[in-house]
Amino acid sequence: MLVKWIRCTVVDRRGFERGQRKWAGLLGEPGFRGQGGGWSRRRPSVAHVFAFWESRAFYDSFMARSHDRLAAAQAGTFKDVQARLFDYRFDVKTGFEPRFTDADLLRVALCRVHEDRAEHYTLMQEKVWNPAMAGSPGMIRGLFAEAPGNEFLVLSMWRSQAEHGKYRTERIERLSLRAQTEADIASLTGDIVELEPTWTV
């Protein structure tokens, strides 16, 4: 599965949201699995959208044919767009599906990992972080994905801000030490996204 993460700064919120609903046109596309997103909690003008495709070939075909027509509805409503593609590696918890209807919050983390530590980092994700997140009340589902250049994406969906907050304060420091996270990671950026139900396709 291919994961696309789009982040942008919105300059016309109403126009952007109107255009976002037009992406419902993705539903007929071969290989399309689902799309959702919302607003950054930290920076209210930043929007995040996550799209899921069965394979790179289906995605490339869509980009060549239908993308520009659907995107036209949002022209001029945002700036500073960044789009990244990742290959799905494994689930966080079990049975990841690109569904957004039962979650309020999405946590996204982008890790750039030192080249010689990529294997260790992936192993720690599987053996230390995954079980901890999967065992947290309120964590619904998530995934771990990879891009060229030792970039890794960790997505997790949560029922509420309060439940995500509990996981953070109780566990992060202890788990980081156990996983030797500091030795693995060159840089880490992330965000908390409040999901917008009308953006779900």
pLDDT in tens, 151-176: 999 999 999 888 887 777 667 788 88
The domain ranges of the chain are: 2-199
pLDDT in tens, 77-110: 999 999 999 999 999 987 899 999 999 999 999 9
Q: Per the confidence metrics, is the pTM higher than 0.75?
A: yes
Residue 112 to residues 24, 135, 165, 181, Cα–Cα distance (Å): 33, 25, 24, 11
**Could you tell me if 114 and 171 are in contact, meaning their C-beta atoms sit under 8 angstroms apart?**
no
Topology classification of domain 2-199 = Alpha-Beta Plaits (3.30.70)
**Alpha-carbon span 46 to 11, nearest angstrom:** 9
Using CA atoms of 91, 89, 55, 33 in order, give the dihedral in degrees to the nearest 10: 20
Contacts of 107 (CB under 8 A, 6+ apart): 154, 155, 156, 157, 158, 164, 190, 191, 192, 193
